[in-house]
Amino acid sequence: MATLNKLLEIFHSQIAAWRNTSLEDLQFWQRDFAWLAGILFISLVTSLAVFRVVIHRPAERSRVALPAILQHKRRLSFSVVRHTPTLLLLLGIPFLLLALADPYTSVLQERTTFPGRRICLMIDASTSMVRHFESPTLLAGNKGTSEATFFTTVAAAERFVRLRMDGEYRDLMSLVEFGDQAYVVTPFTSDYDNILLSLALIGDFGEFLRFPDQGTILTRAVEQGVQLFRMFDFLDASGNLIVMFTDGEDAGVIRQGKTVLQVVQEAVTAEVPIYFIRANFNRALGSVVPDSTWKAAVEKTGGKFYAASNEQTILQAIDDIDRLSSGKIEITQYVTQEPYFGLFAFITASLWSIALMLKLTVAQFQRFP
């Protein structure tokens, strides 16, 4: 009984869904096939009709008396009824063609608000990031991992992602690795495990050694991050931010004479704040960009600058960014497409079943029209 009630409930819900759907809401996977089937069927029916007329055409005209004409008129209504199975058969054909076209509902969109942000994580993988950075807490579970600044920042990014998970946020996150060029490792996703897996992959020592770029050009990283927001059509929405881990040794500023404001200009224009964690830059390499210069430029984006010279300051920076990144974002969800083949197949089967039943059970319908 419970099973029957469940089936009836499913049937009623399906009927309700069908009633709320019009042909304008449908798209068709096999539209061309249905058109071809329709043309072939019309050609077949036309050929059969012509053949029947030719075969049954009388040899010569016969005169019909007036009483016979009157008798024919009296039988006209019955003649129409006699063709009911044929009419039902023909009526089912358009529904059959619609079923063959494999209809489905258009993609439905639902806009939902969730706690979280759209966050682009950026990690500097250039050669200057090999400098030693003592991180007993961040690298505690990674024995044998080099204590280079790069691996500390990867562990810091992982800690940040786990903080977001524990805070029950539903962020959209992406991951970009950069040096001379910027590379999208993972586009925006709500799957935190996917981001953690990507961090584990780039945090492998062998992968770091194979990273192709030697220098650091932050301009390209910022441009790639903003472009990523643009690709996902997020720039018109609030809740966007970039979290960047780098030592701040930008070749474009040091060697090419660019200003740091030019480096972050794309983010300023797009109104995407940058949370800039400068981790352990190497003063021994010579000319470096002062913290105060980076701080002024980063604050132009609406973000914040962190000078993380040791593990404690980088942990504080992560906690601060997590706190500042509270809020809500509006996310567009796409509802799974619903196939509608069954509706039109059901109507066709019903009409043809009634036609067959009439042909087999009622004597007046057993004669072929």
Partnered with residue 296 across adjacent β-strands are none
Q: Rounded mean pLDDT of 338-356?
A: 79
pLDDT recorded at residue 69: 46
* pLDDT surpassing 80 at residue 108: no
**If you write DSSP's letter for every residue of 268-305 in order, what string do you get?**
HHHT--EEEEEE---GGGS----HHHHHHHHHHTT-EE
Under a CB-based contact definition with an 8 Å cutoff, are residues 12 and 4 in contact?
Answer: no
Which comes out higher in pLDDT, residue 11 or 180?
180
pLDDT recorded at residue 278: 92
- Judged on CB neighbours under 10 Å (0-12, 13-18, 19+), 254 is middle
Q: Which of 95-109, 115-129, 355-369 has the highest mean pLDDT?
A: 115-129
Classify 149 as helix, strand or coil.
Answer: helix
The 10 Å Cβ neighbour count of residue 69 is: 9
Under a CB-based contact definition with an 8 Å cutoff, are residues 294 and 260 in contact?
Answer: yes
List, in order, residues 6 or more apart from 296 with CB less than 8 Å away.
Answer: 260
Dump strand ranges (E) for the chain: 26-28, 103-105, 108-115, 118-124, 172-178, 182-189, 240-246, 274-279, 304-308, 328-335
Instruction: Give the phi and the psi of residue 57 in degrees, each rounded to 5.
Output: -70, 130
List, in order, residues 6 or more apart from 99 with CB less than 8 Å away.
Answer: 341, 344, 345, 348
pLDDT in tens, 46-75: 787 777 667 765 555 545 444 544 454 445
Domains of the chain: 2-106+337-365 (no CATH), 110-333 (3.40.50.410)
List, in order, residues 6 or more apart from 86 with CB less than 8 Å away.
Answer: 355, 369
Gap between the terminal Cα atoms of the chain? 45
* pLDDT surpassing 80 at residue 16: no
